[in-house]
């Protein structure tokens, strides 16, 4: 969002409206009604109540009132022109009107505009007695000017209905005032889009009652946003009320809600005398008095459903078209009240936060010089929270840098009190168990996978899923998607800070008495000095070099410890690389783990088993990945772990495991256990749902006793030769058999399957799928020996990969796959493919299908397809489009492409074309290279935005076809005799590549491509001249000339204000650059290679944005401009095979230079030692080194 550093602030006036009228005509009826209607709308209006004119001249006081009014409503009536007082008033009004700070609106009550303009009819009669006065000329001119202004005429407006006429005048004055008064505070950075989002959601003008909730963290800008929306739209309503601090006021006393009820009614009716004495009567009053008015009410900071029931009741309390806006920290309040429209208030971006902070700290949009880095640290600390940004900005305003540094250091250990006070309000209202969950997340679990957080919390006896949901609804945590870990639990930095502060503040100097420990140094000190206490419930320790026995000994006094998360290791002193030691033994000390432990995670656990002394009766989750565990219990002890539900020993030394000792296990993760040879399952594992045996050495696996298994991974189990699947397999959702040696697989009963991975199952010859698999989304079947595949009814299938199934011939689909977007059958024996059942396909890969002859597709297929690869399909002859009409009759139309060299539709994302009226078409890149002339069926390719064509000889036909692609954004032409002259028809074109064209000139029409961003002229060996008006390409950002005969660039090139990259390569006849090249203010990259240029223009030194300058094989260039050091942003400088022998002295001013590439042998002087931030010097191999 752009801001002006010196915003224009409109002049303020004492009065909104000044009424000018003839009292004898309209005072007691029209004017009184108009005045009260304006007053009811809170429009401050001046009305001369005396109106007894005892003299001929208006008073100085009245003159002042006219000057201090923004708008004038001049009510022309039959006797208005008979009053010199009224006419003098009118002269003054029109004088003020001409200043543009005031606006006059004429109202023609019982006269017509032409009568006032020309003083005819009733006005002529009224003015007769004054027409000989000296001031008559001024009065006539004033009436003429006023009558020419836009206003309202009663008889021609709302059928002459006076009440409706007054209402219309008031509404339009309200609108005018709103446009003046509604100015977003210059410190409300980033509000514009947020306001628009809320306003568009409200759909003001609709006939129902709209209720919207604004939810967010304390101090996050909810109230600010609601106030801004209120100010913008309030003029549209018959009554309005902004109720602040609902939570605080309603909780302050028993009459708090009743007080707020009275406030709303008084605001809406503009009557301070209305009130009721209790909430029950207040509800009745609101329902009775609100139902006839379209109103706007904001209820700010609501935290209880009772507040909404008392202040907003039911939608039928209000007239249709009313809007209720509710701000809260607790989403559940909105859900319980039935609010459908809920908007989260996002934190400020770094750019917005920097702007907001700068306004408070410096009174401008950006940090002042010297404070950029410090400001960045403050913004980073605030983490987008507006409250923190405002507080710190105001606090640091006017302070020197040493005070800033001190303040930032203090924040590392002492949180900002004002922020914590606001945030803690949400925490205080939580139930005790939810408070404990919040503190666990803040101190220990923030940033971890959601499923692991739930596992940890449930292990500790909490109702984790419900608790996390409550915290999310109260804006205390968030859930976000991580590219590697999936859904994770997040929390704003200040909420984390608040949680940790709550834990520490009871014993600030005694961490051993804290309930949760997370600071490594404090934990190590407690463990080493045996200072543990029963107060400690949770520990998270990630450390290097702390011996495991010290950890175990230090835990002895922590009898109530329920959560232990440890990761230990060592750094090799020689390599400084992390390493881990396993096979530690217990007989050197007495190992100990607290019996109270419910969750134990110890990554890189060095011992071969759990200690015998550990009574794990309470243990619910055990995770020891990458550990030395070879057997679960010491000495192979057969102890039943009844409460253990989650076991993760992935990449450990485990050899065998007896699941009979873990009867309630739900998840078993043994992936990467390369020594695992046996998994005993003597009893039915009713609760086992998740089983990961990836890369184990199991030879047999019997899963018949796991009826509820949902997730199974036996990928890369190279030794597995015998597999018994769960009976029925009805619950299975995910199967991974990557690189298994299975020959056949029967999944006909796996009706709930969602993902199937059989990658590189080279022995698989037979696969039976369910006839109906309604939840299946993904199938990977690469490198199998399957010949056919019947996927049955799979309406939710999105991804199907049969790549490198060299024997594959036929794909069967029983029903339409509406959601299938990616299909890969490359390197197969497929002969034909019918895409009628895949209407939404986006990616189709059929490369190297050498038996493929044709494709059949509905014409609509191209509307979604963004990638099509048919390379290597040597027999492919036709692409058959079916075009279905309304009567279901069809016709076939074939686009012949034989012999096809390459056909691609490629896109990284489904972007929209912003320059075309119809923005609903996906972004296509269509490259179609033909070996010989072929016609284009462009009406089937209307939505293409990129096309590349090679060697077209029928230029006339080509021009007509290609210029019909109105949405084209990229065009590649190769080996054409000349460039078509009518390319200016391609109004959306952004990229144009001309390669090996044979023309000497480019058509002038190219200069009319107003949206062109990139122009590349490659190997156009006959091209001698560029269009002289090339500078009209106002959006051009990239210009490349390669292997042309161009001798000079047109001077107009210096008008390309957006140009960022200019590359001139192997243009051996180019001798000079335009002298005003420095006008290219945005230029970042300049490359000159193999040209005859002798001098660089001096103006090049003012290219303040230039980052890279490369000059290669320009053998006539022997000198650099003296002021080269003024290129303050230059980072890379390349000078190879030139005659340059000296650097200008100013080169030492290149403070940001990082890379210098040159021929050192050509230099006759040493390079300066202190050139910028130089860290890379590349020398030509034929050189003799570089002296520094």
Both tokens assigned to 152: 């309202």
Contact residues for 899 (Cβ-Cβ < 8 A; gap 6+): 931, 932
Task: Say which of 89, 145, 626, 760 is annotated catalytic.
Answer: 89
DSSP H or E segment with residue 295: strand 295-302
Which residues in 604-695 belong to E strands, given as ranges?
A: 621-623, 646-648, 656-658, 667-669, 678-680, 690-692
Question: How far is residue 978's CA from residue 998's CA, in Å, rounded to a whole number?
Answer: 6
Question: How far is residue 80's CA from residue 126's CA, in Å, rounded to a whole number?
Answer: 7
User: What would you measure as the largest C-alpha separation in the chain, in angstroms?
Assistant: 125
CA 230 to centroid of chain Cα atoms: 26
Q: Identify the burial level of 1168 via C-beta atoms within 10 angstroms of its C-beta, where 0-12 means exposed, 13-18 middle and 19 or more buried.
A: middle
Q: How far apart are the first and last CA of the chain?
A: 47
Other beta carbons within 10 angstroms of residue 697's beta carbon come to: 16
Alpha helices (H) in 182-317, listed in sequence order:
191-202, 222-233, 246-252, 256-269, 279-290, 305-311
Q: How many helices (H) and strands (E) does the chain have?
A: 27, 54
Q: Is 125 helix (H, G, I), strand (E, B) or coil?
A: helix
How many CA atoms within 13 Å lie on the side-chain side of 1103? Answer: 31
Question: How far is residue 384's CA from residue 190's CA, in Å, rounded to a whole number?
Answer: 11
Spatial contact of 1069 and 1049, defined as CB atoms under 8 Å apart: no
The string of DSSP letters for 458-511 reads HHTT--HHHHHHHHHHTTS-EEEEETTTEEEEE--HHHHHHHHHHHHHTSTT-G
The string of DSSP letters for 21-60 reads --HHHHIIIIIHHHHHHHHHTT--EE--S-----SSS--H
How many CA atoms within 13 Å lie on the side-chain side of 764? Answer: 28
Both tokens assigned to 1151: 């403070």
Q: Is 833 helix (H, G, I), strand (E, B) or coil?
A: strand
Question: How far is residue 537's CA from residue 513's CA, in Å, rounded to a whole number?
Answer: 10
Calculate the CA dihedral of residues 236, 241, 247, 250 and round it to 10 degrees. Answer: -150
Q: Pairing mode, if any, of strands 900-905 and 926-930?
A: antiparallel
Chain position carrying tokens 């006419």: 87
Other beta carbons within 10 angstroms of residue 149's beta carbon come to: 15
Other beta carbons within 10 angstroms of residue 650's beta carbon come to: 19
Spatial contact of 969 and 991, defined as CB atoms under 8 Å apart: yes
Both tokens assigned to 237: 């309503």
Spatial contact of 976 and 997, defined as CB atoms under 8 Å apart: yes
Q: Identify the burial level of 529 via C-beta atoms within 10 angstroms of its C-beta, where 0-12 means exposed, 13-18 middle and 19 or more buried.
A: exposed
Q: Does the active-site annotation cover 89?
A: yes
The string of DSSP letters for 258-286 reads HHHHHHHHHHHHT-TT---SSHHHHHHHH
Dihedral sign for Cα atoms in the order 20, 26, 27, 29: negative
Annotated catalytic sites, by residue?
Answer: 89
């Amino acid at each position: 969002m752009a801001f002006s550093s010196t915003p224009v602030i409109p002049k303020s006036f004492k009065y909104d409206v000044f009424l000018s009228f003839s009292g004898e005509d309209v005072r007691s009826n029209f004017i009184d009604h108009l005045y009260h209607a304006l007053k009811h709308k809170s429009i401050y209006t001046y009305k001369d109540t005396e109106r007894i004119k005892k003299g001929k001249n208006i008073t100085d006081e009245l003159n002042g009132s006219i000057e201090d009014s923004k708008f004038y409503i001049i009510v022309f009536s039959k006797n208005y022109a008979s009053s010199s007082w009224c006419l003098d008033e009118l002269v003054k009004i029109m004088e003020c009107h001409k200043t543009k700070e005031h606006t006059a609106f004429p109202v023609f009550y019982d006269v017509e505009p032409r009568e006032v303009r020309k003083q005819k009819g009733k006005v002529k009669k009224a003015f007769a007695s004054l027409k000989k006065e000296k001031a008559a000329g001024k009065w006539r001119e004033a009436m003429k000017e006023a009558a020419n202004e836009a206003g309202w005429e009663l008889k021609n407006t709302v059928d002459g209905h006076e009440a409706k006429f007054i209402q219309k005048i008031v509404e339009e004055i309200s609108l005018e005032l709103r446009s003046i008064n509604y100015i977003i505070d210059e410190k409300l950075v980033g509000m514009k889009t947020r306001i628009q989002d809320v306003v568009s959601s409200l759909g003001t003008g609709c006939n129902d009652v709209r209720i919207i909730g604004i939810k967010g963290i304390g101090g996050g800008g909810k109230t600010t946003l609601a106030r801004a929306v209120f100010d913008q739209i309030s003029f549209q309503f018959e009554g309005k009320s902004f109720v602040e601090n609902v939570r605080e006021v309603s909780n302050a006393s028993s009459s708090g809600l009743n007080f707020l009820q009275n406030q709303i009614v008084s605001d809406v009716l503009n009557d301070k005398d209305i009130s009721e004495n209790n909430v029950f009567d207040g509800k009745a009053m609101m329902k009775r008095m609100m139902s006839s008015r379209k109103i706007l009410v904001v209820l700010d900071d609501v935290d209880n459903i009772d507040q909404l029931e008392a202040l907003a009741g039911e939608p039928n309390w209000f007239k249709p078209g009313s809007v209720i806006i509710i701000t809260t920290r607790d989403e559940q309040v909105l859900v319980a009240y039935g609010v459908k429209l809920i908007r989260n208030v996002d934190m400020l971006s770094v750019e917005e936060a920097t702007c907001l902070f700068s306004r408070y700290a410096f009174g401008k949009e950006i940090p002042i010089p010297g404070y950029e880095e410090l400001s960045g640290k403050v913004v980073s600390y605030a983490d987008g929270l507006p409250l923190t940004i405002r507080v710190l900005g105001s606090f640091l305003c006017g302070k020197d840098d040493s005070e800033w540094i001190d303040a930032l250091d203090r924040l590392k250990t002492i949180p900002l009190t004002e922020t914590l006070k606001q945030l803690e309000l949400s925490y205080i209202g939580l139930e005790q168990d939810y408070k404990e969950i919040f503190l666990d997340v803040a101190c220990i679990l923030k940033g971890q996978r959601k499923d692991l957080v739930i596992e940890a919390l449930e292990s500790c006896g909490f109702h984790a899923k419900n608790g996390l949901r409550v915290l999310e609804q109260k804006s205390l945590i968030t859930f976000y998607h991580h590219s590697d870990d999936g859904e994770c639990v997040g929390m704003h930095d200040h909420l984390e800070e608040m949680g940790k502060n709550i834990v520490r503040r009871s014993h600030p100097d005694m961490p051993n008495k804290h309930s949760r420990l997370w600071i490594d140094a404090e934990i190590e000190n407690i463990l080493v000095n045996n200072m543990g206490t029963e107060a400690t419930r949770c520990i998270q320790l990630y450390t290097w070099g702390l011996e495991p026995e010290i950890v175990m000994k230090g835990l002895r006094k922590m009898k109530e410890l329920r959560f232990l998360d440890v990761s230990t290791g060592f750094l090799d002193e020689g390599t400084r690389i992390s390493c881990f030691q396993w096979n530690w033994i217990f007989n050197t000390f007495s190992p100990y783990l607290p019996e109270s432990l419910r969750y134990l995670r110890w990554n890189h656990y060095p011992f071969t088993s759990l200690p015998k002394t550990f009574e794990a009766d309470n243990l619910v989750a055990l995770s020891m990945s990458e550990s030395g565990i070879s057997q679960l219990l010491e000495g192979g002890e057969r102890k039943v772990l009844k409460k253990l539900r989650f076991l993760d020993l992935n990449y450990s030394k485990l050899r065998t495991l007896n699941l009979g000792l873990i009867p309630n296990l739900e998840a078993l993760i043994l992936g990467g256990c390369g020594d695992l040879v046996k998994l005993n399952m003597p009893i039915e594992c009713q609760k086992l749902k998740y089983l990961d045996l990836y890369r184990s050495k199991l030879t047999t696996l019997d899963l018949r006793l796991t009826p509820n298994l949902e997730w199974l991974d036996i990928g890369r189990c190279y030794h597995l030769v015998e597999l018994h699947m769960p009976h029925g397999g009805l619950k299975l959702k995910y199967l991974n058999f990557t690189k298994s040696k299975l020959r056949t697989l029967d999944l006909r009963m796996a009706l709930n399957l969602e993902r199937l991975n059989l990658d590189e199952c080279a022995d698989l010859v037979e696969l039976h799928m369910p006839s109906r698999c309604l939840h299946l989304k993904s199938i990977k079947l690469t490198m199998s020996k399957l010949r056919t595949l019947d996927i049955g009814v799979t309406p939710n299938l999105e991804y199907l990969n049969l790549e490198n199934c060299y024997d594959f011939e036929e794909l069967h689909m029983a029903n339409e796959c509406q959601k299938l977007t990616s299909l890969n059958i490359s390197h197969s024996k497929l002969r034909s493919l019918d895409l009628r059942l895949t209407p939404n396909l986006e990616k189709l890969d059929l490369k190297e299908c050498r038996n493929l002859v044709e494709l059949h597709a509905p014409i609509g297929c191209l509307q979604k397809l963004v990638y099509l690869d048919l390379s290597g399909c040597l027999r492919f002859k036709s692409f058959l489009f079916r075009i279905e009409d309304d009567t279901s009759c069809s016709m076939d139309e074939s686009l012949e492409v034989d012999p096809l060299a390459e056909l691609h539709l490629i896109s990284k994302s489904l972007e929209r074309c912003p320059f075309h009226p119809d923005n609903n078409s996906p972004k296509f890149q269509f490259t179609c290279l033909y070996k010989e002339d072929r016609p284009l069926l462009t009406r089937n390719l209307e939505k293409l935005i990129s096309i590349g064509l090679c060697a077209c000889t029928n230029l006339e036909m080509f021009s007509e076809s290609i210029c019909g692609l109105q949405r084209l954004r990229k065009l590649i032409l190769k080996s054409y005799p000349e460039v078509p002259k009518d390319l200016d028809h391609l109004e959306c074109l952004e990229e144009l590549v001309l390669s090996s064209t044979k023309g000497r000139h480019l058509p002038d029409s190219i200069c009319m491509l107003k949206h062109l961003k990139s122009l590349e002229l490659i190997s156009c060996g006959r091209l001698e001249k560029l269009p002289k008006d090339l500078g009209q390409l106002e959006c051009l950002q990239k210009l490349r000339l390669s292997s042309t005969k161009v001798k000079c660039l047109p001077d107009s090139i210096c008008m390309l204000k957006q140009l960022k990259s200019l590359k001139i390569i192997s243009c051996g006849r180019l001798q000079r650059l335009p002298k005003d090249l420095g006008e290219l203010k945005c230029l970042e990259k300049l490359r000159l290679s193999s040209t005859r240029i002798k001098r660089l223009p001096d103006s090049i030194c003012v290219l303040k944005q230039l980052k890279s300058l490369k000059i290669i094989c320009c053998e006539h260039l022997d000198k650099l401009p003296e002021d080269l050091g003024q290129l303050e942003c230059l980072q890379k400088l390349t000078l190879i095979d030139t005659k340059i022998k000296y650097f200008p002295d100013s080169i030492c001013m290149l403070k940001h230079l990082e890379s210098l590439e040159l021929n050192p042998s050509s230099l006759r002087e040493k390079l300066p030692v202190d050139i910028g931030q130089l860290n890379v010097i590349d020398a030509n191999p034929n050189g003799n080194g570089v002296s520094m």
